[in-house]
Structure 1
Amino acid sequence: MSCQKCSEKFILKNDKGVIFIISEVEELLKKSTSFLQKLSIDYSNKNGLLVINVTNVKAFFSENINRFKEYFNELERENIKIFTADDENSFNYLTVLKAKTLQKYINLFDDQDFFDVVNNESLTVHFQPIIDIHTDKIYGYETLARGVNEDGSLMYPDILFEKSKRNDYNFKLDRLCRESALKTAATKKVHQKVFINFIPTSIYDPEFCLNSTVKWAKQLEFDPSQIVFEVVETELVKDQVHLKKILEYYRSKGFKIALDDVGEGYSSLNMIIELRPDIIKIDRNIISGIDQNELKQSVYKALFNLARENGITVLAEGIETINELKMIKNIGVDLAQGYYFAKPASEPIRKI
């Protein structure tokens, strides 16, 4: 069982259909009417609902998408909604909920590479090793998703999630990334801990939204204690009660919890106190050049002491030089990650 947010494919039919245009703003309906009249597009107005019958839905948008962009400004495009269906009788109150903004339809063309990646589930996973400083062995791997374009080139996370966010696809993409990480780690026979990022704002009900992730972990015979879920974008989480509910669900299944980018967001210290993660990952902005910056050393030392006093493991990420490594070792650290050891790679590095 899944929700529309996690399973939808936003595509346009290459066939005949009906296009409905709606808006809560009366002036925008009038402007939409003028737009259709200007282009000599046949339509009917049914109590403020503009209805257009077309012989090919995809061709209609393909031919007119640039005209939409020129005629309506960005604010207007966000307040005009469109729904496509097979026939006029398909429109009901549910279609109002499923209708997408005109801007989303424009994005469908501008971000076609993104939609191809997600709708076809064309993801690959790279692994970056995490080192146990006490043993100098690989403790685990952070899994990092990349989209695979049709030409074989990669779409990196910053672009992937930027396009996902503006198209309201984080629910689906986040689930795909979690599941791809588990499947790929199993295929690559990774026996160390597997760190998997997740966006808490893409989960509205943990038992429902995370069911498939738990299912795959069991099916692939992972020991839950070997999987660490990293909370990312913590500074965007307004509802800490909801986030704690998500983490409690993960913990009830035996998984570990890491808090990412600690020291970057203004609420990091509060997050540590409230969430009590198993691991904190100290942000690379603090680690970078720490050997030459006494203020960064003080901040790192405070975070390390707070974690140590509360039984939390400290992971320093973004280490790029031997001097940075020496400094954090001198202050104190449990785990380390960064280009100094290895860059993310499609094949997990087995030994440092």
Structure 2
Amino acid sequence: MCESTVAMLSLVAECETNSEPIISRLIESCALKALFQPIVRLSDGAVIGHEGLIRGPAGGALESPVALFARAHDEALAVELEQAAARACIEAYFNGRRDGDALLFVNYSAAAISLEPDREASLLHVDRKRIVIELTEQSQIPDLDVFVDSVNALRASGLRFALDDYGVANASLSLWTHLAPHYVKVDRYFVHGIAQNAVKFEAVKSMVSFANATGTLLIAEGVECAADLRIVRDLGIPFAQGFLLGRPSQTPATHVSESAATLLRSQQIAVYPATKHRRADVNESANQLESMLIEAPTLKPEARNDDAVHLFNAFPSLHALAVVDRQGTPVALINRRSLMDQFALPYHRELFGKRACMQFANREPVSIERTTSIETIATLLTDDEQHALSDGFIVVDDGKYIGLIAGASAVRAVTELRLDAARHANPLTFLPGNLPLGAHIERLIDSGVAFVACYADLDHFKPFNDRYGYWQGDAVLKAVAHALSSACDPHGDFLGHIGGDDFLILFQSDDWYERISRAAGEFNDRVRGYYSTEDRAAGGIIGEDRFARQAFFDFVRLSVGAVTVKPGQLRAAAQLSKVASIAKQRAKRDTIGIVVMQFSVDGDVV
């Protein structure tokens, strides 16, 4: 350790002991050390600039920037420390490297930006276009209009502007809109772990869309692993920084490490994290209920059965009538078919017509609030299927009657919801459905990368299902999903559930054949455990073939038809579906159960 460093550490320790001001002494003695972290262009791995960072005396209590600025804040010297830090970074960065076009990103608070931060560049005769002023996230802006004027003045002087740590603290969409920065840095909170977090993925995806609309360039901060790097690159974020691409150092790096360069050269696309199918919100649920709502007339509890018959005759399409008390609260429901069937019997009208309508009413009707979700209605239909299907539902608003919903209408709405959800994720295995599969295939096509499509399904599954029932059949399908999932690299291979016993894997892994062979073998061994002891001993089961004839069926087996696709061969997802189906059919006739074919230029398999 040099004498100057020892002396500075001693000074810091002395000031700490005596609670004396230290920041001004650090600034005056030029004891601040500048470090530079590279900012990398993801399309080619070029280092386009660096963020200037500051540190206190090495080994001391104020070495970290957090401690340093905390002490400056306590001493009311935060802006002065920012100015000194910027001066140290500019001097160190451009000392001996004033040629070229590499950018220096310098951190400033809103208060410091108001004090002409271009002064340091003027003193050093540095090209202002190479300096980017970063508005730090802790900045409080008392008057946004005045601050915008300050930023515009900086732009007029040639400096560029960036919004730092977007998505947290004070870096908001409103600020982005007002300031129109050249660059926006996506906070590391959203970038770290984005490959496994669908919510972060969707948040950053929306940032990319807004950046494209405004002409702003995004920089992803905190990139520390290969999976996150692939995601931000594939989302179209042009620049990134983080430990994976380069750590802060006193000497500005001119290139990324070879391992990072290899990752950036790879054409393998990322697998986007699965997004759970969106649930309908309260407004959507209300709109769906309103579209099904029947504003039907009601009866009072003292009304007669003849009155109910009269209303049913007046409204032929009405499936039920609600019985409502004088406060507007529903107390019962009269089912049309049930009542009219009673009155169709001999003498029933004469015997019961003058009696109270509550005689044939359901005194425990199912009532739902008008904001009830379709998912809740689906649960009610499952819990009391026949009753709800026949009577439907009474709809209330804060407990007061407003109308009816027919059971058939509710079933139709639930079915549409289930079908829509299944397109996104299979409800049994929770694997991506047809829409995400199609989107990933299109990304593979657009990226022009090589991949392998493996179309897998089960042989002899229907006879198994017929013998053991759907519960056991569902367990087998879950076992298939587990086996195929274990064969996939989650960051490069995409597994989807088309429906039934059909699955599709889009492999980018070079060792895909070993992976799928191992998964198929393990599943074929384990599936025997789903058979009874007697059927295992017999080697299979007796069941009906497609012609309704009795036949012997071997154990369920996983068959895989694989199609290798070279870059640029495929033009549309429909082509892949056609040839993968051919490969699958050939695999079902193969003794091993795995057939590999190549996708030819003319769109066939060879």
Q: Is the 8 A contact 1:111 1:163 kept in 2?
A: no
2:176 to 272, 289, 297: 272
- Distance (Å, rounded) in 1 between the aligned partners of 2:139 and 2:90: 26
1:188 and 1:348 in contact (8 A); partners too: no
From 130, 136, 147, the counterpart of 2:39: 130
Out of 62, 67, 71, the position equivalent to 1:163 is 71
Q: Which amino acid aligns with 2:64?
A: Y
Distance 1:136 1:322 in 2: 14
Unpaired segments ≥5 residues, structure 2: 1-13, 257-606
Single out whichever of 251-260 and 261-270 deviates more from structure 2: 261-270
Alpha-carbon distance in structure 2 between the residues aligned to 1:243 and 1:108: 40
1:306 CA displacement: 0.2
Q: Report the CA distance between 1:118 and its aligned residue.
A: 2.8
Match of 2:48 in 1: 139
Aligned counterparts of 1:250 and 1:170: Cα–Cα separation in 2: 21
Determine the structure 2 residue equivalent to 1:325: 229
- TM-score of the superposed pair, with normalisation by structure 1: 0.63
Q: Provide the residue aligned with 1:182 in structure 2.
A: 90
* Contact 1:108-1:115 at 8 Å conserved across structures: no
- Corresponding position: 1:301 with 2:202: no
Partner of 2:167: 263
Q: Could you say which residue in structure 2 is the equivalent of 1:200?
A: 110
Tell which deviates more after alignment, 241-250 or 300-309. 241-250
- 2-side partners of 1:347 and 1:153: how far apart? 24
Structure 1 position 172 matched with structure 2 position 76: no
Following the alignment from structure 1 to structure 2, what is the Cα–Cα distance between the partners of residues 127 and 111? 30
Cα offset, 1:198, TM superposition: 0.5
Query: Do residues 116 (structure 1) and 25 (structure 2) align?
Result: yes
Change (3 A) 1:341 1:116: same
Aligned to 2:153: 249
Moved more, 106-115 or 167-176: 106-115
Shift of 1:279: 0.4
What is the one-letter code of the residue matched to 2:188? Answer: R
AA at the equivalent of 2:214: N
Structure 2 letter corresponding to 1:303:
M
* Most deviating of 245-254 and 268-277: 245-254
Does 1:227 find its partner at 2:131?
yes
Identity of aligned residues (%): 25
Q: Matched residue of 1:298: which SS?
A: helix
Q: Kindly state the Cα deviation for residue 129 of structure 1 after the two structures are TM-superposed.
A: 0.2
Contact 1:291 1:327 survives alignment (8 Å): yes
What is the deviation of 1:107?
8.1
Contact 1:107-1:167 at 8 Å conserved across structures: no
In the TM superposition, what is the alpha-carbon distance from 1:139 to its structure 2 partner? 0.7
339-348 or 140-149, which deviates more = 140-149
Whole-angstrom CA distance in 2 between matches of 1:322 and 1:196: 27
RMSD over aligned CA atoms reads 2.4
How far did 1:267 drift? Answer: 5.2
Distance 2:28 2:66 in 1: 18
Q: Give runs of aligned pairs for residues 49-68 of structure 1, distance below 5 A.
A: none
| CA shift in 2, pair 1:255/1:266, >3 Å | closer
In 2, Cα distance between equivalents of 1:229 and 1:119: 24
| Counterpart contact for 2:186–2:219, Cα < 8 Å | yes
Gaps of 5+ in 1: 1-61, 63-105
Q: Quote how far apart the aligned CAs of 1:148 are.
A: 2.2
Deviations 1:37-64 (A, max 9, x none): xxxxxxxxxxxxxxxxxxxxxxxxx9xx
Give the match's secondary structure for 1:259. strand
Change in CA separation of 1:351 and 1:165 when aligned onto 2, cut-off 3 Å: same
Which residue does the alignment assign to 1:336? 240
Pick 1 or 2: higher relative contact order, CA cutoff 8 A, min separation 6.
1
Cα deviation code 1:324-349 (max 9, x no counterpart): 00111121211100001111001111
| Residues 110 and 139 in structure 2, CA contact (< 8 A), matched pair in contact too | no
- Greater displacement, 292-301 / 111-120: 111-120
CA–CA separation in structure 2 for the residues paired with 1:245 and 1:302 = 28
